[in-house]
Amino acid sequence: MRSTFSFFHIASLIFISILFSCKEKQSNKEVLLSTIDAQLDSIQGDVAIAFYNLSDSTDRLMINAEEEFHAASTMKVPVMIELFKQQRAGKLNLNDTILLKNEFKSIVDSSRYSMDIGDDSDDVIYGKIGTKVSLNDLLYPMITVSSNLATNVLIELVGAKNVTATMRNLGADKIEVLRGVEDQKAYDLGLSNSTTAKDLMIIMKAIATNQAGTPDDCEKMISILKDQQFNEIIPAYLPKDVSVAHKTGSITGVHQDAGIVYLPDGRSYVLVLLSKNLEDFDQGTDQLARISKTVYDYMLSK
């Protein structure tokens, strides 16, 4: 009788332990959701979030993830992927040089326009106009300092339609890369590059899992993304031993960040934070950064 009681007692303890373990995991996700809800309530504007735990494919979070947003400079990641793809196909070599010019055609009527150094985050490259520069020397600042001039040269080289087609092949169904930067005539007609948080998540996940190119290509892409110089959102409140491979983007009322976060314990996750219609840009940016910290805290609790 005593042994029977002991058996059922042990079985009950095991069951209770499993039950509490499940509840603990559930409560972690509930804390994540409730905290993010409160943070979203403090932002005057529209926000989309996509989170994917690369260490656990069942662990993800989507909030407004299929709503369309202006891609801003996040579209430079698809351009980077297309450059590596065309290099693999033998269409170009990233060590090749090209004459750097500052003249581009509008997608509306092929009329010509130029980039303004005052509107670009990269002023160094303008000193090289009229000289030959390597594609690698354009690719790197396109991502790390979001050079608009480098972007327009490269997107003209690989073709916007090709970039979008490659994103479709990766499973990103809604992202549209229509043109380079500062094409005012296209902007006035509503012809802008757009994306969703879900699509950017798919794209960053493809890089992280070597689906966006060869393992060597993806490793090089990640290395470039880790050198990102604008760190006001995803990395802002994270510890220094956490590395982030990411790309930001901003225009009036819009601030975006999409990246892969690498934890010291070897785990990693993809996080995409998109915003639009921000009434207070700085306050909205800070709250997006705090959402990133909330996701990081959630990962530590698992």
Q: Which of 18-32, 56-70, 221-235, 256-270 is predicted with the least confidence, judged by mean pLDDT?
A: 18-32
pLDDT at res. 26 = 53
> How is residue 176 annotated by DSSP?
B
Neighbours of 36 (CB within 10 A): 20
Q: How many alpha carbons fall within 13 Å on the CB side of residue 66?
A: 1
With contact defined as beta carbons under 8 Å apart, do 244 and 4 qualify? no
Whether 253 maps to a domain, the answer reads yes
The answer to whether residue 21 scores a pLDDT higher than 70 is no
pLDDT band of 19, cuts 50, 70, 90: very low
Could you read off the pLDDT of 35-85 as tens digits, one per residue? Answer: 999 999 999 999 999 999 999 999 999 999 999 999 999 999 999 999 999
State both tokens at 46: 């529209």
Whether 192 maps to a domain, the answer reads yes
Could you read off the pLDDT of 191-240 as tens digits, one per residue? Answer: 999 999 999 999 999 999 999 999 999 999 999 999 999 999 999 999 99
pLDDT at res. 123 = 81
Distance CA 91, CA 217 (A): 16
Element (H, E) at 201: helix 197-208
Which range of residues forms the domain containing residue 283? 43-301
> Measuring CA to CA, how many Å separate 152 from each of 112, 136, 198?
13, 14, 25
Whether 22 maps to a domain, the answer reads no
Going by C-alpha positions, the residue among 212, 248, 202 that lies closest to residue 75 is: 248
Characterize 66-91 residue by residue with b for buried, 16 or more Cβ atoms within 10 angstroms of its Cβ, and e for exposed. Answer: eebbbbbbbbbbbbbbbbbbbbeeee
pLDDT at res. 16 = 40
With contact defined as beta carbons under 8 Å apart, do 272 and 49 qualify? yes
Whether 248 maps to a domain, the answer reads yes
The answer to whether residue 286 scores a pLDDT higher than 50 is yes
Whether 3 maps to a domain, the answer reads no
Whether 12 maps to a domain, the answer reads no
Mean pLDDT, the chain, integer: 92
The answer to whether residue 293 scores a pLDDT higher than 60 is yes
pLDDT at res. 149 = 95
With contact defined as beta carbons under 8 Å apart, do 247 and 267 qualify? no
pLDDT at res. 237 = 98
Going by C-alpha positions, the residue among 18, 25, 31 that lies closest to residue 56 is: 25
Distance CA 46, CA 277 (A): 6
Query: What is this structure's pTM?
Result: 0.89
With contact defined as beta carbons under 8 Å apart, do 74 and 200 qualify? yes
State both tokens at 80: 């980077």
> Measuring CA to CA, how many Å separate 221 from each of 18, 79, 125, 207, 263?
42, 11, 21, 7, 18
Whether 35 maps to a domain, the answer reads no
How many domains is the chain partitioned into structurally?
A: 1
The answer to whether residue 116 scores a pLDDT higher than 80 is yes
CATH number at residue 212: 3.40.710.10
The answer to whether residue 265 scores a pLDDT higher than 60 is yes
Whether 151 maps to a domain, the answer reads yes
Distance CA 144, CA 122 (A): 10
Measured in whole angstroms, the distance separating CA 206 from the mean position of its chain's CA atoms is 11
Characterize 112-122 residue by residue with b for buried, 16 or more Cβ atoms within 10 angstroms of its Cβ, and e for exposed. Answer: ebebebeebeb
